[in-house]
Structure 1
């Protein structure tokens, strides 16, 4: 990899600062929604990661949240206590548990998604801008480099 010039390095810092600022602002914009839903940011992120059409295993959920399986157990306990998810033995692998949204969990996830669409800065961009941002962010977070 070629060494970066001071200008290029400065640009990287500016972009990262914007990414962090956007994350902070998104969290602030959603704070009242999370309060209304009685969710922590971590619980909301877990709900966001549980696709209604595909029930992940606890291990898959941990991987998508980039955390330890024991941490997901703690989060899942709280979500189950709230009636938002169920955990059942995976019929395909009896050693694993799958996580499924309940009706309340599905409703809560939809409310969270609606708030993200209407309140986040990304939701305020036009469709072409969103597609461009998605392409750039996908490229930036890709673990495969083409250099």
Structure 2
């Protein structure tokens, strides 16, 4: 509905906002969204929440045992939804992400589109680990073991 009339030589566009709504309806996207919703419903939001909480609890308890690691924000696992933001003394978050990547562990690093919050907290950037219903306790334990080694791999003597 973005075009009122088309010829080989010209086109007449519809009025705003209709002229900006080009293309065919994303039917495939709608079907995929419906299937994704069904999938999540089959697993159950309560089950997802329980798993997220359990993984976040393991992650936070393990991180608290690393003396040079700082959890950003509340250390109550129920307030994290499976996401834990952190820094490591002397190691830039991008280095944390790169090092963990060599161990097949993906974390995010940067300001996470939250520069005002970062300024308020006095940090330029952080690393962020996320887990969801497809992650396991074993994966979190491997993450924690590798996390303990990051400073050593950067040349720090512990």
For normalisation by structure 1, the TM-score amounts to: 0.30
Query: Could you say which structure has the higher helix fraction?
Result: 1
Higher relative contact order (CA 8 A, sep 6+): 1
For normalisation by structure 2, the TM-score amounts to: 0.29
Query: Could you say which structure has the higher strand fraction?
Result: 2
Larger Rg: 2
